[in-house]
Amino acid sequence: MAIDYQALQGVPRLLLEAQLKPIQGDRFQPTGFPDLGPARYTAPDGTEKLLVESPQSVANRMEMACWDEPQQDLIAGLQGLPYVRVLDQNGRMLTTSILESHRLNSPYILEGKDKKVFDILKNELASFEEGAVNLRDLAKILLKYDANSVLHGIFLAKKELAGGRLRLARVLSGFIEASGVAPAESGGAKLDHVNPQGDTNRGFGNVIYHRTEFTAKRICAYFNLDLALLRSYALQDIAQQLLIALALFKIRRFLSTGLRLRTACDLELDGDIRVTRPENGFVVPQEAELLEECRRLIGDCGREGIFADPPVTEVKWQS
């Protein structure tokens, strides 16, 4: 089943929901923050809720779902998408704009002695040094070198690049939250059978610890594809279609392969993706169909010169 792009014409947002459940048992470990712990909150109707995964983390996990770690490259169907590969001094891959949380704004890309990518961006973005930033032109330039920076957003916070004013909001965002939550308290022990009374500050001795996990009546992943924002960039039709197909593929791929969020938070899809907007019967194609659509559109964009040639830009890291 092909994507019904016509059904998305004039639609400001494509909103999706996916019900999840623990793959084993009932307990799960949510995301946590050093100064906060689990992100618990109460909804206006009094329902106890919990943030399971933040938008920042879901964005990074959707990118990782498209990465073939053993091959250190994009999965086969997505090869040809532009991105930046960072090499160490021995020519081995160190990181990429896909693996970096800030994408093209990674210090390994812009802060090393090799200024190749920095100089490319400074040259391509020279017209933004004065006056308002033209987001249409910015999106086209970023699409050329790293398509994911357009989809997931970026902030080029370098004063040498238009005074640090270059920013694109997320076209695709997502988060996971749980409703009707209750704590599941437990604990554990690290036992030192040699010296139970040893100095625990140095790793010796017995250590007893407390652990809080949670149960929930409902766990749901939410995704928002901002079609109005994407259309505002006035990209070529094939580029817009590619970013829509890529966004839907990332969602499908994340839900099928990327839901082991932590050791004690291993989830799975419970049912299928539900489209909540638009209410016109739009259906999200299956993963294999979306990958084939991405493959076709990547080829078309490459032939039209929308992407850099070669699509993978390499830079050597030296601090």
Per-residue pLDDT band for 203 (boundaries 50, 70, 90) equals confident
**Residue 116 structure tokens:** 């190749």
Does residue 231 have a pLDDT over 80? Answer: yes
* Mean pLDDT computed over 273-278: 96
Does residue 249 have a pLDDT over 90? Answer: yes
Q: Where are the domains of the chain?
A: 5-181+217-316, 182-215
Whether residue 310 is preceded by a cis peptide bond, meaning omega within 30 degrees of 0, is yes
The pLDDT assigned to 284 comes to: 96
Residues 290-305 have pLDDT tens digits of 999 999 999 999 999 9
Specify the higher pLDDT residue, 30 or 131. 30
Tell me how far apart the alpha carbons of residues 181 and 89 are, in angstroms, rounded to a whole number: 49
Residue with structure tokens 């601090």? 319
Does residue 72 have a pLDDT over 90? Answer: yes
Does residue 237 have a pLDDT over 70? Answer: yes
Asked if residue 273 lies in contact with residue 19, where contact means CB atoms within 8 angstroms, the answer is no
The pLDDT assigned to 1 comes to: 66
